[in-house]
Amino acid sequence: MTVTIVGAQLGDEGKGGIVDLYGEPADIVARYQGGDNAGHTVVHDDVEYKLSLVPSGVVRGKTGVLGNGCVVNPRTLFEEIDALQERGLDPDVRVARRAHIIFPYHRRLDGIEEEAKSEDDQEVGTTGRGIGPTYEDKAGRRGVRAGDLANPDILKERLEYAVPQKRALAEDVFGVEAGEAFDIEALYEEYREYGNRLEREGMLVNAGDFIASALDDGKKVVFEGAQGTIIDIDHGNYPYVTSSNPTAGGAATGTGISPGVVGGGEVIGIVKAYLSRVGSGPMPTELAGVEGDTPGYEGEAGEQEEELAEFIREEGGEYGTVTGRPRRVGYLDMPILRHATRASGFTGLAVNHVDTLAGLEELKICHSYTLDGDELQTVPATTEQWANCEPNYRRFDGWENIDWEAAASEGYDALPENARIYLDYVSDELDTPVYAVGVGPSREETIVVEHPFE
């Protein structure tokens, strides 16, 4: 049986923690898209693990698979594996032979294009990991796949074809110096070594066959989504998106397991009890703003709104893990969640950060939007329309801080009544049961209503 974990909003909903919780009885945790643009947090025995590429399950000794839908930077992969080994773990990670490889020139081009776009305030605010350029080469049929790293002749041939084009793009189109990231010989030597290590350590697999045979043997598989629905390349707010499909369909195409199997299992939508966003693009329920990220924002929000945004940021730790920059935050948005529920077919919800909101007198949830005099229940298809949506709010009474860990062991009814009213509204609107409620970062601070594997 499979359980698929999908970000219902804009990423950073707390997927890693839920993969850790629900992955306990699983044998395999497979990622199906994205690369080291992800940052998934797992807290185990008071130790925090921040994983960008290695699937979250490996912290608990599960086999981790990077499916064909992923883009893999071998430098990051081995750095992360080596760092986990230094911390006393023995990570078992397999990489799909069909997964595409991120090269230094992809990262460089990611930065070059963002820089060029920034001249007209059009930058996406990418993570700079080369994700978009690598998926471009995949679609353009000039990519290098993990399986190619183990075949020196093919690796050489592919680099000799692709790299001169990339160099010309950097130099002749963008007018920048290409540099060593475009040196075919150096790339070949370094990446051949990665190919050797992948082979030597038995890491390369045909992911579809590998996972299917585990399922045939009655094993349990978690598909771990990265990013979230509103930054999905198809269903998100294009062009302020990542270049893959975090929605549930991606779990099938990104692993080689049929949509029937994915849909026949459980699909859990991970929801943050408010919203956070990294990077640019619209956000109708945003509180105050972050200069440089919020389009057109120049610090003009009212004091009350700034205070609330500050409160949520402080309580929820909404600061970039690498840069320390404040994340954009906002009220929960039901049109986003209706859109996500339709696109992925959630069978259950995990709502995180309910503790973060404790102590506020009142809260609001955006029930619908008004656009050009019409009421909308879901997200419009163009980003420009979305930016013009006015939220229609419902008001909710706030709840107090309690002993969250005690509540987690007692169950859903131990939550403050107003928190239950808030959660019940979300569940009713989406016609989807709440399976879990996050009341703190660790597994022990999660209320489990349903366990999808039980």
Q: Select the binding partner of residue 17 from ligand IMO, Mg ion, ligand GDP, none (C-beta < 5 to 8 A, by kind).
A: ligand GDP
Q: Applying CB under 6 A, which part among 225-233, 301-309, 338-346, 429-437 lies near ligand IMO?
A: 225-233
What is the 3-state secondary structure of the chain? CEEEEEECCCCCCCHHHHHHHHCCCCCEEEECCECCCCCEEEEECCEEEEECCCCHHHHHCCEEEECCCEEECHHHHHHHHHHHHHCCCCCEEEEECCCEECCHHHHHHHHHHHHHHHCCCCCCCCCCCCHHHHHHHHHCCCCCEHHHHCCHHHHHHHHHHHHHHHHHHHHHHCCCCCCHHHCHHHHHHHHHHHHHHHHHCCCEECHHHHHHHHHHCCCCEEEECCCCHHHCCCCCCCCCCCCCCCCCHHHHHCCCCCHHHHHHCEEEEEEECCEEECCCCCCCCECCCCCCCCCCCCCCCCHHHHHHHHHHHHHHCCECCCCCCECEEECEEHHHHHHHHHHHCCCEEEEECCCCCCCCCEEEEEEEEEECCEEECCCCCCHHHHHCCEEEEEEEECCCCCCHHHHHHHCHHHCCHHHHHHHHHHHHHHCCCEEEEECCCCHHHEEECCCCCC
Choose between 37 and 368: whose C-beta lies nearer to ligand IMO. Answer: 37
Determine the size of the site formed for ligand IMO (CB under 6 A). 23
| Residue 14 in contact with ligand IMO, rule: CB under 6 A | no
Q: Select the binding partner of residue 356 from ligand IMO, Mg ion, ligand GDP, none (C-beta < 5 to 8 A, by kind).
A: ligand GDP
Q: Select the binding partner of residue 36 from ligand IMO, Mg ion, ligand GDP, none (C-beta < 5 to 8 A, by kind).
A: none
Looking at 73, 229, 242, 285, which residue binds ligand IMO (CB under 6 A)?
242
Q: Which residue type is seen at 251?
A: A
Q: Select the binding partner of residue 379 from Mg ion, ligand IMO, ligand GDP, none (C-beta < 5 to 8 A, by kind).
A: none
- Tell me if residue 106 is catalytic: no
Looking at 72, 163, 231, 365, which residue binds ligand IMO (CB under 6 A)?
231
> Phi and psi (nearest 5°) for 18?
-75, -35
Residues 299-318 as x/- pattern, contact with ligand GDP by CB under 6 A: ------------------x-
Question: What value does the CA radius of gyration of the chain take, rounded to a whole number of Å?
Answer: 22
CB of 92 to ligand IMO, least distance (A): 21
Restricted to residues 10-29, the positions that interact with Mg ion (CB under 5 A) are 12
Looking at 5, 19, 96, 124, which residue binds ligand IMO (CB under 6 A)?
124
Looking at 4, 5, 6, 7, which residue binds ligand IMO (CB under 6 A)?
7
CB of 410 to ligand IMO, least distance (A): 30
Alpha-carbon distance of 132 to 241, in angstroms, equals: 10
Determine the size of the site formed for Mg ion (CB under 5 A). 2
| Residue 37 in contact with ligand GDP, rule: CB under 6 A | no
Q: Applying CB under 6 A, which part among 9-17, 63-71, 203-211, 260-268 lies near ligand GDP?
A: 9-17
Q: Applying CB under 6 A, which part among 14-22, 293-301, 305-313, 386-394 lies near ligand GDP?
A: 14-22
Choose between 9 and 432: whose C-beta lies nearer to ligand IMO. Answer: 9
Choose between 368 and 442: whose C-beta lies nearer to ligand IMO. Answer: 442
Question: Dihedral (C-alpha) 116, 121, 126, 127: value to the nearest 10 degrees?
Answer: 90
Alpha-carbon distance of 1 to 257, in angstroms, equals: 12
| Residue 12 in contact with ligand GDP, rule: CB under 6 A | yes
Q: Which two tokens stand for residue 375?
A: 């009421």
Choose between 39 and 125: whose C-beta lies nearer to Mg ion. Answer: 39
Alpha-carbon distance of 385 to 50, in angstroms, equals: 36
Tokens 């956000």 belong to which residue?
Answer: 283
Q: Select the binding partner of residue 231 from ligand GDP, Mg ion, ligand IMO, none (C-beta < 5 to 8 A, by kind).
A: ligand IMO
CB of 241 to ligand IMO, least distance (A): 6
| 349 touches 268 (CB < 8 A) | yes
Say which of 20, 36, 40, 353 is annotated catalytic: 40
Tokens 């975090």 belong to which residue?
Answer: 246
- Tell me if residue 339 is catalytic: no
> Phi and psi (nearest 5°) for 297?
-80, 130
Looking at 73, 245, 344, 356, which residue binds ligand GDP (CB under 6 A)?
356
CB of 185 to ligand IMO, least distance (A): 28
Restricted to residues 30-59, the positions that interact with Mg ion (CB under 5 A) are 39
Looking at 288, 353, 386, 443, which residue binds ligand GDP (CB under 6 A)?
353
Active site residues: 12, 40
Q: Site residues (CB under 6 A) for ligand IMO?
A: 7, 11-12, 37-40, 124-127, 129, 131-132, 226-228, 231, 240, 242-243, 278-279
Give the residues lining the site for ligand GDP (CB under 6 A). Answer: 7, 11-17, 39-41, 43, 317, 352-353, 355-356, 438-441
Q: Which residues bind Mg ion (CB under 5 A)?
A: 12, 39
